Structures are given as C-alpha cells and as structure tokens.
Amino acid sequence: MTSARTRARMIERLRARGIVDEVVLAAMSAVPRHIFVEEILANRAYDDVALPINFGQTISSPFTVARMSELLRAGSGLDKVLEIGSGCGYQTAVLAQFVREVYSIERVGPLLTRTRTRLRQLRLNNVRLKHADGLLGLPESAPFDGIIFTAAATHIPATLLEQLAIRGRIVFPKGSQDQYLCVIERNLQGYTETMLDEVRFVPIVPGIWKR
C-alpha cells in the first residue's frame, strides 16, 4: 500500500497527466508521501487527491505538488527557495531533493512541530523551518531564486517581491473564490505575471496562529 511500487504508479500517473520534468519526478519518487498524513489516511496517500492534515489545512495532491515544482524549476537548478505554508512538509521535502537550501515558514506552531520531526526522520539537512507569518518573507536570507506559496493569495506583498532574485520566480495560487496558478518572474525591467491552471487552495492567513 505504501511501497515503492505504489509510488512508481503515482509517478506514472503524473507522467500521464503531463508532468515532464525528470528532476521533479525523481524527487517525488524519492519522498515517501504516506509519512506526511495521519496513519488512518496512509492508504490514500498516493491517490491523486488532497487530504486533510488538521487545523483545517490540506496536503496538496501529488499532481499539484508536481506541477508547482515544475513551474518553479522551469528546467533549471535552484539554489535558494522560500516556501510559505510548510503544512505537513511534503512539498518542502520534495523541494529539498533538488534545491540546495529550502526555507519554509508556517504560521501554525503545532503543525510545524510534527513537520520538524518528519523532516528530521528523512534526514533532510538542507531545510530551515520557521514559525512566523510567511507574508513577511525572510529578508535576512533573501534573495531567493524561487518563492512558492501553498495557500492562496490575492496579491504578493511588496516586501516579498523585493526578496526575489533577478531571474527568480514566484509560483502561487492567485485569487480567493476563483483561483489560478500564477507565475511571477523578475527581470531587470521589473516583474511579469502569467496565469495558468485553475486550482483550489486554502487561503493564506496573515499573522501567527493562536490557540
């Protein structure tokens, strides 16, 4: 149910749906997705669906993780990436396979505690997790070649745009009711924006979660 064979079938489905970046496919075949969900859901971990992870949040479907990773890489290597919304840490672990240094921010403390344990279990030493409001970014570690949001936003705050390196890209679900994957690229002249697939994400929430 959670074997390498199950994972191989997931990879075949991703290919069938149009994921072509071999680096992303290799990363997803290396990360055991079932350890990121509650045990009771482990047998559904490799299905192409989003699943609940507590605190009203969801782990994105394998296709969504693959698609966003592929858009972020755009066919080339990434040195430093900032992820906003660590959640269960699955997207983080996938990024850590092909990004030199991953910084990930999560606003819900108790989610992050579990995620820390999982990432340690996988011996991912190139991930830095931070309990904070991701909308502020991480100026002390900027600039980033890539910034990825795992929750939907209507716009990107100026402080985050400034933390993007020249030729860097932001991939995020844009909108509130109707959402589309959006890629913002920074070049010497400024920023360009491209809207892609329709998607459904939980909304980004400003500030740190309190009990």
Q: Considering only residues 60 through 79, tell me which ones interact with ligand SAH, judged by CB under 6 A.
A: 60
H helix runs in the chain, sequence order: 4-16, 22-30, 62-73, 90-98, 109-121, 158-162
Interaction between residue 51 and ligand SAH (CB under 6 A): no
Interaction between residue 88 and ligand SAH (CB under 6 A): yes
Interaction between residue 146 and ligand SAH (CB under 6 A): no
Output the six-digit token pair for 156. 């990107």
Q: Quick one: which of 10, 106, 119, 145 contacts ligand SAH (CB under 6 A)?
A: 106
- Give the strands of the sheet with 127-131, arranged side by side: 127-131, 99-106, 78-84, 144-149, 164-175, 179-187, 190-199
Q: Please give the backbone phi and psi of residue 19, each rounded to the nearest 5 degrees, phi first.
A: -75, 125
Which region among 19-27, 37-45, 154-162, 203-211 touches ligand SAH (by CB under 6 A)? 203-211
Q: Quick one: which of 72, 82, 84, 170 contacts ligand SAH (CB under 6 A)?
A: 84
- Residue 69 designated active-site: no
Chain residues in the site for ligand SAH (CB under 6 A): 53, 57-60, 84-85, 87-88, 90-91, 105-108, 111, 133-135, 150-151, 202, 204-206
